[in-house]
Amino acid sequence: MLNLSNIIEPFKEFIFASGSFNYRKMRLLGRIPRFRKYTPNPMEHPTSSPNEPISGLHPLTFVEKAITGLRQYGYYDGIAVDCTLLDHLHEIVKSSQFTPRDISNHRDQNLYNIDPLNLQNPGGAYLYALLNPHLKHPWLHSFISQSLGPVAKAYLNSETVSVSSQIWASFDDGGRAYNPDFGFHYDLDDYRFLKFFLYLSNVDSGSGPHQVVESSHQHDHFFRFFNRRLREHSRYLDGKTIKTFVGNAGTCFFEDTLCYHRGVRPEEPRLVFQAEFCINDY
């Protein structure tokens, strides 16, 4: 059902959101499939293939399978990463300092250490993040560009992609924290974009697993235009297939987060690495 706040939300964001005019324009027009297709840098025939396939998957098969899964379901999880990658990422976590990121509490300016093998909340926040670790760690940069980049370029149909990355740890918030990402929503980070998630800790149903509404990037475009965030118990979800990603550290997947998705409110700790590919750099 459409109410007034749904109707004005896309336009309110265009007028009042922060960011450049082009960014705000994208946040409005990116809701419309036609604009997502006909944007700058289209490349009809992507040519590159990964130099370092993830865990021995044949590069071309891997890219093709990933693209097919992403187009059809909005995600691809037929991937295994090897222990070396996990160890490297744990080393980064150990040697870095994390910033508290609670949306409702900006007061804490301290930096915190996180032990990836013994996740304990180091402060008073429930969420801590490390932004763009690939800029400080060249091997992570090359893993992203060589192993993940070919999937991104092929899926986004663009030879040039901009990359960002983050690692975040979430902890039990006692049911109190405000975070709109606990509810189903879709992202508007660019006209076309793609995310890769890699769990750095074991994740079960209590650790705030990631969920995605399968194929929701493909359908219901009119509804989607006015409903970037779903209400709790939205009737839109009736009859939809929701995929919940649980698994041991090393579980990973690509996702087009134009699909409705969320991270469930956590009761147990979770540590996640994410890389994001966009076709523009705003």
The answer to whether 50 and 63 are in contact (CB under 8 A) is yes
Minimum distance of ligand AKG from residue 19's CB (angstroms): 17
CA-closest candidate to residue 27, choices 210, 278, 209, 249: 278
Q: How far apart are the first and last CA of the chain?
A: 33
The secondary element (H helix, E strand) that includes residue 277 is: strand 270-278
CA-closest candidate to residue 52, choices 166, 164, 142: 142
Minimum distance of ligand AKG from residue 126's CB (angstroms): 12
Q: Which part of the chain contacts ligand AKG (CB under 6 A), choosing from 21-29, 89-97, 110-118, 256-264?
A: 256-264
Q: Which part of the chain contacts ligand AKG (CB under 6 A), choosing from 17-25, 27-35, 110-118, 255-263?
A: 255-263
Minimum distance of ligand AKG from residue 207's CB (angstroms): 10
Is 30 a binder of ligand AKG (CB under 6 A)? no
Give me the residue whose beta carbon is nearest to ligand AKG: 263
Q: Cα 20 from chain centroid?
A: 22
Contacts 24+ apart (CB under 8 A), 58-65: 59/150, 62/151, 63/150, 63/151, 63/154
**Radius of gyration of the chain from Cα atoms?**
19
Is 207 a binder of ligand AKG (CB under 6 A)? no
State the burial class of residue 270 (Cβ atoms within 10 Å of its Cβ: 0-12, 13-18, 19+). Answer: buried
CA-closest candidate to residue 159, choices 11, 20, 45: 45
Angle at which helix 4-16 crosses helix 21-29, to 10 degrees, equals 160
Minimum distance of ligand AKG from residue 273's CB (angstroms): 11
Minimum distance of ligand AKG from residue 165's CB (angstroms): 12
Is 257 a binder of ligand AKG (CB under 6 A)? yes
Is 77 a binder of ligand AKG (CB under 6 A)? no
Instruction: Provide the mask over 259-278, with x wherever binding to ligand AKG is found by CB under 6 A and - wherever it is not.
Output: --xxx---------------
Q: How many residues bind ligand AKG (CB under 6 A)?
A: 8
Pick one of 77, 187, 190, 256: the residue that binds ligand AKG (CB under 6 A): 187
Q: Which of residues 106-135 bind ligand AKG (CB under 6 A)?
A: none
Minimum distance of ligand AKG from residue 59's CB (angstroms): 26
Instruction: Provide the mask over 210-229, with x wherever binding to ligand AKG is found by CB under 6 A and - wherever it is not.
Output: x-------------------
The answer to whether 200 and 159 are in contact (CB under 8 A) is no
Interface ranges with ligand AKG (CB under 6 A): 181, 187, 195, 210, 257, 261-263
